[in-house]
Structure 1
Amino acid sequence: MRRELVTWSVVLGLIIVAFATTVIVLNSTIYSSTGFVRSYLGALARHDMSSALEIADIYLPEEHGAASDGGAGATPIDTTGAGSLLLAGSHELLRPSALSSLEDIELVDNVSNPDGTETVTFSFELDGRPAKSSFTVIRDANNFGVFSTWDFATPPLTIVRLTVLNAQEFTANGSELVVPTQDVPSTYVVLTPSSFEVSHTSHYLKAEPIVVSATAPGDTVRARLDVVANEAMIAQVQREVNEYLDECATQVVLLPTGCPFGQPMSNRIVTTPEWSIADYPPVTLSPGSEPASWLMPATDAAAHLKVDVRSIFDGSVSTFDKDVSFSASYLVTFLPDDELLITAQYPQ
């Protein structure tokens, strides 16, 4: 009987030691601060937005991006912690389709802070570029009284203030979005870390893509996308301006009506004036004063006039055969179905 008791005591002791060892190992790996952050980063790497939000204890209302794109279910947002950051801007970039690629995740550092929090730093490849982020986490409670759980002391969210100049539409990592007002910063909430290639391509407009990186939780990143007229728009305006000036040149008067060129004369004309365009104004376009408008500034050009004239002094006849310089300016505005309205701008 004593032998069996000793045997069971040894077995129980081994079980307790094994359990304690397991708890220590799990608390130093899976249930550690670094394991907690690694789980969050792993969810981002898998583009598992729902799990990433759940790990970070971030919940969105149904009408916002993540909930309608595979994200967490609806839960009222509080006004502290993650909730205060979520209230700071649009959630349209909190969607799986807008997430970055996250690879080669490696632990860099883990520092215990005097206030009981820990700062965990990981390095990684963010959309192919080396980057790193530091997360401050705090011990929350114990599962089953033994396994540690953690929360982000600073929620892994970054504020992006994006200004889209001269347009409202843009794409971020392929997702098509619209800012409320062009030329004014719009605020978006994104998960940290994130990287977005922001660009614009449309029938008449383009923008050189910019990369917006968000790697610091709680930080604010500012970016500007400069949308300009593309080659197709410039070519279309050039074509229509040239046609307009050619039409002006068909008028057989010294001062063609509604046209930017003309040649007054004190002598009497003998033959019909013949106009042609010697140099068309090269079109350049800059943003106009009103949204969806573009301005071609006053640009030098030249028309050619050939006409015989009789002197009012001695009656002699001579030929006026010269280039007549002028400048042309036009306002271009968008119409439905990708049409352009081109309006001549005359000096006041």
Structure 2
Amino acid sequence: MRRELVNWSIVLGLIIAAFVTTVIVLNSTLFSSGGFVRSYLSALARHDMSSALEIADIHLPKEHGAASDDGAGAQPIDTTGAGSMLLAGSHDLLRPSALSSLKDIAVVDSTINPDGTETVTFNFELDGRSSQSTFTVQRSGARFGVFADWEFVTAPLTIVRLTVLNAQEFTANGSEFVAPAQDTPSAYVVLTPSSFDITHASTFLKAEPIVVSATEPGSTVRARLDVVANEALIAKVQREVDGYLDECATQVVLLPTGCPFGQPMSNRIVTTPEWSIAKYPPVNLTPGAEPASWLMPATDAAAHLRVDVRSIFDGSVSTFDKDVNFSASYLVTFLPDDELLITAQYPD
């Protein structure tokens, strides 16, 4: 009997030792500060927005919900902690389709701070670029009384203040968005880490792509997307302007009506004036004063006039056969269905 009791005591001791060892191992790996942050990063890597938000204890308001692309899974907002940052900007970029590619996640440093918090640094590949983020976490309790629970001291959120110049539409990681206003910084809340390839491409406009990286929790990143007229718009306006000037050149008067060129004369004309365009103004467009408008500044050009004139002094006849320099300016306004309204601009 005593021998059986000893045997059971040994077995029980081994079980307890194995359990304690398991707890120690799990608390130093899966349930460690690094394991907690890794689980969050892994959720981002697989574009599991719901899990990433749950791990980070981030709750989105229903009206801005983006745990999925259709807004499912949103919760009422909390104005403390992460909630205070959520109030700082739009949640449009908090959607799975806009998430970055996150690979090769590896912890490179872990430090216990004097206040009991822990700082964990990870390296990873963010959209093909080597990046690093540092997170501060703290114990928030114990699971089953033995496994450590953790929470972020600073929520893994970053504010991106994006200014879209000369347009409101832009794409981020292939998804389409519309800024509240053009030429004005708009704040967007994004998960950390994130990287966005931001650009604009439309029928008449383009932008050189920019990369916006958010790798520091609680920080603000500023970016500007400069939208300009594309080759299609410039070519179309050039054709319209050239055609308009060609029409002006068909008028058989010295001062064509509604046209930017003309040649007053004190002598009397003998033959019908013949106009042609010697040099068309090259179109260059700059942003207009109003949204959806582009201005062609006053640009040098030349028309050619040939006409015989009689001197009012001696009656002699001579031929005026010269280029007449002028400048032209036009305002281009976008209309629905990719139509353009081009209006001549005259000096005040």
Shift of 1:70: 6.6
Q: Unpaired segments of 5 or more residues in structure 2?
A: none
Q: Which residue of 2 aligns with 1:181?
A: 181
For the residues of structure 1 that align with 2:52 and 2:105, how far apart are their CA atoms? 15
**Which amino acid in structure 1 is aligned with residue 248 of structure 2?**
C
**Which amino acid in structure 2 is aligned with residue 118 of structure 1?**
E
For the residues of structure 2 that align with 1:165 and 1:207, how far apart are their CA atoms? 10
Structure 1 outlier segments of 4+, above 4 Å: none
Contact 2:135–2:154 (8 Å) recurs in 1: yes
Structure-2 change in CA distance of 1:38 and 1:68 (3 Å):
closer
Contact 1:61–1:67 (8 Å) recurs in 2: no
Contact 1:49–1:70 (8 Å) recurs in 2: no
Contact 1:59–1:72 (8 Å) recurs in 2: no
Q: Which residue of 2 aligns with 1:32?
A: 32
Shift of 1:63: 2.8
Relative to the length of structure 2, the TM-score reads 0.99
Contact 1:50–1:70 (8 Å) recurs in 2: no
Q: Which residue of 1 aligns with 2:121?
A: 121
Structure-2 change in CA distance of 1:151 and 1:293 (3 Å):
same
Report the 3-state secondary structure (helix = DSSP H, G, I; strand = E; otherwise coil) of the residue aligned with 1:282.
coil
Structure-2 change in CA distance of 1:237 and 1:148 (3 Å):
same
| Two-structure CA RMSD over aligned residues (Å) | 0.9
Q: Unpaired segments of 5 or more residues in structure 1?
A: none
Shift of 1:71: 6.5
Contact 1:255–1:263 (8 Å) recurs in 2: yes
Query: Is 1:200 the equivalent of 2:197?
Result: no
Contact 2:53–2:67 (8 Å) recurs in 1: no
For the residues of structure 1 that align with 2:26 and 2:347, how far apart are their CA atoms? 79
For the residues of structure 2 that align with 1:340 and 1:332, how far apart are their CA atoms? 7
For the residues of structure 2 that align with 1:70 and 1:277, how far apart are their CA atoms? 57
Q: Which residue of 1 aligns with 2:250?
A: 250
Query: Is 1:241 the equivalent of 2:246?
Result: no
Report the 3-state secondary structure (helix = DSSP H, G, I; strand = E; otherwise coil) of the residue aligned with 1:327.
strand
Shift of 1:43: 0.5
Structure-2 change in CA distance of 1:304 and 1:70 (3 Å):
closer
What does 1:1-348 correspond to in 2, within 5 Å?
A: 1-69=1-69, 73-348=73-348
Shift of 1:59: 1.2
Shift of 1:73: 2.4
Shift of 1:66: 1.4
Structure-2 change in CA distance of 1:120 and 1:293 (3 Å):
same
Report the 3-state secondary structure (helix = DSSP H, G, I; strand = E; otherwise coil) of the residue aligned with 2:120.
strand
Shift of 1:61: 2.1
For the residues of structure 1 that align with 2:174 and 2:167, how far apart are their CA atoms? 17
For the residues of structure 1 that align with 2:5 and 2:131, how far apart are their CA atoms? 59
For the residues of structure 1 that align with 2:70 and 2:289, how far apart are their CA atoms? 41
Report the 3-state secondary structure (helix = DSSP H, G, I; strand = E; otherwise coil) of the residue aligned with 1:300.
strand
**Which amino acid in structure 2 is aligned with residue 188 of structure 1?**
Y
**Which amino acid in structure 1 is aligned with residue 261 of structure 2?**
F
For the residues of structure 2 that align with 1:303 and 1:168, how far apart are their CA atoms? 39
Structure-2 change in CA distance of 1:81 and 1:73 (3 Å):
same
Contact 1:49–1:71 (8 Å) recurs in 2: no
For the residues of structure 2 that align with 1:323 and 1:132, how far apart are their CA atoms? 64
The alignment covers a number of residue pairs equal to: 348
Contact 1:53–1:72 (8 Å) recurs in 2: no
Contact 2:59–2:78 (8 Å) recurs in 1: no
For the residues of structure 2 that align with 1:291 and 1:4, how far apart are their CA atoms? 90
For the residues of structure 2 that align with 1:257 and 1:4, how far apart are their CA atoms? 118
For the residues of structure 2 that align with 1:317 and 1:233, how far apart are their CA atoms? 47
For the residues of structure 1 that align with 2:70 and 2:260, how far apart are their CA atoms? 59
**Which amino acid in structure 2 is aligned with residue 153 of structure 1?**
V
For the residues of structure 2 that align with 1:272 and 1:72, how far apart are their CA atoms? 75
For the residues of structure 2 that align with 1:144 and 1:124, how far apart are their CA atoms? 32
For the residues of structure 2 that align with 1:264 and 1:146, how far apart are their CA atoms? 98
Report the 3-state secondary structure (helix = DSSP H, G, I; strand = E; otherwise coil) of the residue aligned with 2:198.
strand
**Which amino acid in structure 2 is aligned with residue 343 of structure 1?**
T
Q: Percent identity?
A: 83
Contact 1:160–1:189 (8 Å) recurs in 2: yes
